[in-house]
Amino acid sequence: MARIVAGVGVPHTVPYPELVRRKGPDWEVAILYERVAAHLRAASPSLLICFVCDHLNTFFLDNWPTFAIGVVAQATGPNDEVPMVPQQAIPVAEDRARDLHAAVLEAGFDLSLCRELQVDHSVMVPLHFLTPDMTTPIIPVFVNGLVPPLPSARRCFLLGRAVGQAVAAWPEQVRVAVLASGSFSLEVGGPRIDQGRLYGIPDLAWAKRVTRYLQDGMIHQLLDEATPDRIAKAGNAAGELLAWMAMVGAVGDLAPRSVELEPGNGHAFGTWGEDSA
Amino acid sequence: MTAYDLSKICYLIQFDLEFRRRILDDPQAAIEQFQLNPEERLAFLSGDVGALHALGVHPLLLLRLQRYGVVGLTQEQYMNRMRRRR
């Protein structure tokens, strides 16, 4: 039987690959990514389900999905510009993705089907740090966290749970890890950017609160509080929390090991694992 | 959808290199094929990203105007014009 052996959550900040290269492995961001990477390596997954939010790079408003899944042999990315991360092909577990699409449809979640796929930094920055040889097959699952109206946090959590249940029903012995990427409080390019920067963190208190709920496993409290209005107050990219909600739903009984806010930033680094891992 | 054509222009600037070349060369001519009302047209050609945001264009799309310097827009101007809408 297939098994979900780890969950991880990280930011996907575009300048981080270049900054980590420049500042070296002792920089706090490098350490935070490495801690998550080590957790993932220890779980030795053969497949990584990636819950991400597209930034109007994979999709456009002519056909904007609330949820979507890539059923392709490979995805290429990043299709936006990410210093230090060249455009490349990433293997996708196509057969598994096809099964997953059908299974979650059966469970009541209607995902758009992508048979050609380019991905942006939301996928490629996490992989750059977590699976740098880029050979672990992924299944990309897109959650709309950036273009209102957003799906509810609970809906995303339940989508994740349906994904987890579908994986558990696979007959093969597959070790599966689940990734989420994104921020809890972030304004990108909108009116609430900081002086002299193209981004801002409008609601650090909310990011801290989310982090604490995740660390303490208080998911239902978080799902109740993470309303569309609450998310909107935390910035125009704060809906990326929804990717994390799906990941937490998918990992099911795995316990949070460590969920740590990057000091002064609106995003966190988190790991979920089995008790014996 | 509000400001759909404005959004489309910003999208094409990133993904259609030929369109990017044309709009950098002659913005007025490049946007003629789109359905913009006078307010949208003025906001776009003057690089008023604060107004474009108020008209309904997503900032993730607007950022591409300063990234490629469309209508001469600089990062500094972008930040100032957007922050004015706080």
- Nearest chain B residue to A58 by CA: give it: B15
ipTM: 0.96
Query: Tens of pLDDT along chain A (277 residues)?
Result: 899 999 999 999 999 999 999 999 999 999 999 999 999 999 999 999 999 999 999 999 999 999 999 999 999 999 999 999 999 999 999 999 999 999 999 999 999 999 999 999 999 999 999 999 999 999 999 999 999 999 999 999 999 999 999 999 999 999 999 999 999 999 999 999 999 999 999 999 999 999 999 999 999 999 999 999 999 999 999 999 999 999 999 999 999 999 999 999 999 999 999 875 4
Rounded to a whole number, what is the distance in Å from the CA of B58 to chain A's nearest CA? 8
Give the other-Cβ count within 10 Å of A264's Cβ.
8
Q: Which residue in A269, A210, A194, A201 sits closest to A233, CA to CA?
A: A201
Interface of A with B in 47-86 (CB under 8 A): 55-57, 60-62, 79-80
Q: Cβ separation of B62 and A189 shorter than 8 Å? A: yes
- By the 8 A CB rule, do A109 and A67 touch? yes
Q: Which residue in A191, A81, A60, A195 sits closest to B52, CA to CA?
A: A191
Instruction: Compute the radius of gyration of chain B from its Cα atoms.
Output: 12
Using the Cβ of A38 and the Cβ atoms of chain B, whether some distance falls under 8 Å is answered with no
- By the 8 A CB rule, do A137 and A46 touch? yes
Burial B29-66 (b: 16+ CB within 10 A, else e): ebbeeeebeeebeebbeebbbbbbbebebbbbbbbbbb
Give the other-Cβ count within 10 Å of A117's Cβ.
22
Q: Cβ separation of A147 and B4 shorter than 8 Å? A: no
The pLDDT tens digits of the residues spanning B16-51 come to 999 999 999 999 999 999 999 999 999 999 999 999
**Who among B4, B53, B84 is closest to A190 (CB)?**
B53
Rounded to a whole number, what is the distance in Å from the CA of A151 to chain B's nearest CA? 18
Taking the model in full, what pTM does it have?
Answer: 0.97
Q: Cβ separation of B50 and A191 shorter than 8 Å? A: yes
